[in-house]
Amino acid sequence: MEHADAVPAYGLWGLVILNSVIFIGFAFSFFKPQSKTDWRTLNAFSAFIIAYFIEMYGFPLTIFLLSGWLTSKYPGVDFLTHNNGHLIHTLLGMKGDPHWDPFHIASNVLVFGGFLMLSYAWHTLWKARRRHALASTGIYARMRHPQYVAFVVIMLGFLLQWPTLPTLIMFPFLTYMYVRLSLREERAAEAEFGEEWRRYASVTPRFIPRLSPPDKSHHEGAR
């Protein structure tokens, strides 16, 4: 995803399409949507990804909207180069290649870790669905909604790398949407599994994972 500053940093719509397809494809292959709720979850994430890469490679809307302030506060800085487009790095006055600063490294860890969590959660959920059971093993023994958490972690990782006004605005709305969807799924799970679900929910946090699973937990969660 990198470009030398001598190369035009924007108007690279081929890269917008390529990167969007790659990351949405990863999400699709790891998440494997089946229900309407699944598709709604993936579509919201896809909108975030497309908006993100449009600003990174297509048109720098955030830099354009903030151009007056940026020019006055940081005279002599060309924000239309790719390296200076890493706003956290540039605004904090950090030196060196932004792709190796702590924010970019943390971004890579969160994005990779989020996709890994998404894949692992799906594998556990898929095995439970085959048994028509509730998924309380693996990551579902530590939190009730690892797949929604994974999407939020991935988006947070992208924001650390290349924050933009559209994605910063989208992030809290999408997070709220995922919380609403998780509560709806919990009601459906309780209706289907009854007391088994209530026992599982009583010892398993929704979003913040517990460090160790409950002893002999044998229940299945929602996404």
Q: How confident is the prediction along the chain (223 residues), in pLDDT tens digits per residue?
A: 444 444 558 999 999 999 999 999 999 988 888 888 889 999 999 999 999 999 999 999 999 999 999 999 999 899 889 899 999 999 999 988 999 999 999 999 999 999 999 999 988 888 888 888 888 888 999 999 999 999 999 999 999 999 999 999 999 999 999 999 999 989 988 998 899 999 999 999 999 998 876 665 444 445 5
Q: What's the confidence (pLDDT) of residue 216?
A: 55
Identify whether the C-beta of residue 166 lies closer than 8 Å to the C-beta of residue 62.
Answer: yes
Q: What's the confidence (pLDDT) of residue 146?
A: 95
Q: What's the confidence (pLDDT) of residue 6?
A: 43
Q: What is the CATH number of domain 13-203?
A: 1.20.120
Burial (CB < 10 A; 0-12, 13-18, 19+), residue 2, is: exposed
DSSP 41-85: HHHHHHHHHHHHHIIIII--HHHHHTHHHHHHHSTT--TTSTTTT
In this structure, the chain runs to a length of: 223
Q: What's CA 201's distance to the chain center, in Å? A: 24
Task: Give this prediction's pTM.
Answer: 0.88
